[in-house]
């Protein structure tokens, strides 16, 4: 992993481990790193739309959903970032808070 991080979220998909967001101790991260356990190599993935830490991730079909957590300013993240694994792009979905 090229960036040491804590408070990140991780999920496996298609034999790869996706580590998303978190904190490097000085700032909240919007980066994603992907581990191929068969080679032991890490690669950088696409950046999310907004940094987040202490969030959750879930997978449904070919998408990874990053939900909740805290942004750089310590506020609750008001959106869902959706990573499409087929086209390797993030999309941003805004939540309507009650």
Whether 88 contacts 66, CB under 8 Å? no
Query: Residue 60 has what pLDDT?
Result: 94
Asked whether 21 and 9 are in contact (CB, 8 A), the reply is: yes
Residue 73: per-residue pLDDT: 87
Please compute the mean of the pLDDT values over residues 69-84 and round it to a whole number: 90
| 40 HSE (CA, 13 A, CB side) | 0
Q: Does residue 79 fall inside a structural domain? A: yes
Does residue 81 form part of some domain?
Answer: yes
Domains of the chain: total: 1
Is residue 90 in a domain? yes
Q: Is 1 inside any structural domain?
A: no
Asked if the structure places residue 40 within a domain, the reply is yes
The reply to whether 72 falls in a domain is yes
Stated pTM of the model: 0.91
Residue 38 pLDDT > 80, yes or no?
yes
* HSE-up of residue 86 (Cα within 13 Å, Cβ side): 4
Residue 3 lies in a domain: no
User: Which domain covers residue 73, as residue numbers?
Assistant: 9-94
User: Is 4 inside any structural domain?
Assistant: no
């Amino acid at each position: 992993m090229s960036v040491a991080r804590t408070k990140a979220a991780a999920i496996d998909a298609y034999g790869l481990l996706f580590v998303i967001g978190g904190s490097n101790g000085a700032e909240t991260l919007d980066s994603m790193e992907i581990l191929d356990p068969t080679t032991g190599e890490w690669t950088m993935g696409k950046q999310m739309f907004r940094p987040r830490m202490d969030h959750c991730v879930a997978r449904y079909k070919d998408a990874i959903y990053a939900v909740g957590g805290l942004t750089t300013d310590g506020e609750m993240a008001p959106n869902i970032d959706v990573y499409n694994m087929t086209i390797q792009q993030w999309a941003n979905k805004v939540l309507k808070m009650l």
